[in-house]
């Protein structure tokens, strides 16, 4: 007798397990509350690990390749910049966890403290924001050549002998007394300048406004040249900064650009990127990379 058997039931569709978020802690820039134990309590379900600054980019790249739901970085703006350099142009979102001293980038995203960062991990949304780039190196806040870069180097040279705040004061005093101007050519026009500042997005004109932005999606670079070819230039610029009139000062050339070329008559130059200094070869090609970086932000408030 011929028995016809029914077709075997189809196997259930394969499912791809979710890869939990990852929180990387930079212990050299973190506060007490950004210890791994505290962060594990704030971000249940996420993997939390410590990382030395020179290993952050490798760990971020590994997390990106694993297809993590998101990658959180608890550290200062320099550590956030390292993560952005890896994640820009991809689809794995960055969660900026304020664990440094100033946390400019996290605050620009509306993340003022650890609890808000934890809320963004639970119920947040993904947005894409602009980043700046100079010769292919990413920055999320700003880049500069001249006075500020030398100030950072002076601070680092004293950091082993003085507390950080005293090192800042000593380095600033040295630059006020002995700082040198730089000869730069910007899009073919020569300047003798104390500093060239390039911001990722529009900054304000007062001393407090130079640390914040209202928008990270306006696709512009805020370029400012602090001229050094006039008498008492540094003091006059400082006065304009204090009263909020930097955009009206005759000593500061302000432009909004999507690209900018800066050349110097030297083989290498120290360039500050988000508070850290690297060495690049001129000419320096700056560009705004629109919507390049996916970020995790808190849900919109009613």
pLDDT tens-digit series, residues 75-104: 889 999 999 999 999 999 999 999 887 888
- Predicted TM-score (pTM) of the model is 0.80
* pLDDT for residue 14: 42
Mean pLDDT of 250-267: 87
pLDDT tens-digit series, residues 213-235: 778 999 999 998 887 775 555 55
**Residue owning tokens 């995790």:** 296
* pLDDT for residue 148: 59
CATH number of the domain residue 40 falls in: 3.40.50.10330
- 223 lies in some domain: yes
Beta-carbon contacts of residue 302 (< 8 Å; ≥ 6 apart):
none
The yes-or-no verdict on residue 271 having pLDDT over 80 is yes
- 135 lies in some domain: no
Same domain, 61 and 152: no
* pLDDT for residue 153: 47
Same domain, 83 and 33: yes
Angular region, 180: left φ>0, alpha ψ -120 to 50, beta rest: beta
- 12 lies in some domain: no
pLDDT tens-digit series, residues 63-78: 999 999 999 999 889 9
Alpha-carbon Rg for the chain in angstroms:
23
Query: What percentage of the chain exceeds 90 in pLDDT?
Result: 48
Q: Which of 95-104, 121-130, 197-206, 251-260 has the highest mean pLDDT?
A: 121-130
Same domain, 110 and 157: no
CATH number of the domain residue 280 falls in: 2.60.200.40
- 172 lies in some domain: yes
Same domain, 184 and 109: no
Domain count, the chain: 2
What domain range includes position 157? 142-290
Please state, in angstroms and rounded to a whole number, the distance separating the CA atoms of residues 222 and 219.
10
- 57 lies in some domain: yes
CA torsion sign, 59 to 61 to 65 to 67? Answer: positive
Please state, in angstroms and rounded to a whole number, the distance separating the CA atoms of residues 302 and 293.
26
Would you state the structure tokens that stand for residue 7, as one six-digit string? 């077709």
pLDDT tens-digit series, residues 152-196: 444 545 455 555 555 454 444 454 545 567 888 988 889 888 888
- Rounded to the nearest 5°, which phi and psi values hold at 179? -60, 145
Mean pLDDT of 294-300: 93
Please state, in angstroms and rounded to a whole number, the distance separating the CA atoms of residues 216 and 290.
9
Same domain, 154 and 274: yes
- 275 lies in some domain: yes
Same domain, 115 and 41: yes
């Amino acid at each position: 007798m011929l028995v016809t058997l029914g077709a075997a039931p189809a196997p259930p569709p394969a499912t791809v397990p979710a890869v939990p978020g990852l929180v990387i802690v930079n212990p050299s820039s973190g506060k007490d509350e950004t210890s791994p134990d505290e962060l594990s309590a704030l971000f249940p379900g996420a993997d939390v690990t410590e990382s030395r600054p020179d290993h952050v980019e490798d760990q971020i790249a590994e997390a990106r390749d694993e297809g993590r739901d998101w990658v959180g970085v608890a550290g200062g703006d320099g550590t956030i910049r390292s993560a952005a350099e890896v994640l820009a142009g991809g689809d794995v979102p960055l969660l900026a966890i304020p664990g440094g001293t100033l946390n400019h980038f996290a605050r620009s995203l509306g993340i003022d403290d650890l609890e808000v960062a934890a809320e963004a991990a639970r119920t947040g949304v993904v947005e894409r924001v602009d980043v700046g780039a100079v010769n292919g190196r990413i920055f999320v806040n700003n880049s500069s050549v001249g006075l500020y870069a030398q100030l950072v180097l002076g601070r680092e040279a004293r950091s082993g002998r003085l507390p950080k705040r005293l090192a800042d004061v000593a380095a600033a005093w040295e630059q006020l007394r002995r700082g040198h101007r730089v000869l730069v050519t910007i899009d073919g026009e020569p300047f003798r300048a104390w500093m060239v500042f390039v911001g990722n997005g529009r900054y304000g004109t007062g001393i407090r406004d130079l640390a914040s932005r209202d928008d990270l999606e306006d696709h512009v670079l805020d370029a400012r040249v602090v001229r050094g070819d006039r008498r008492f230039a540094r003091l006059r610029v400082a006065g304009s900064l204090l009263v909020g009139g930097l955009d009206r000062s005759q000593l500061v050339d302000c432009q909004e650009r999507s690209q900018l070329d800066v050349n110097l008559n030297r083989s290498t130059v120290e360039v500050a990127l988000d508070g850290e200094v690297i060495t690049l070869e001129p000419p320096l090609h700056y560009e705004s990379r629109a919507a390049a970086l996916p970020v995790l932000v808190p849900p919109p408030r009613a």
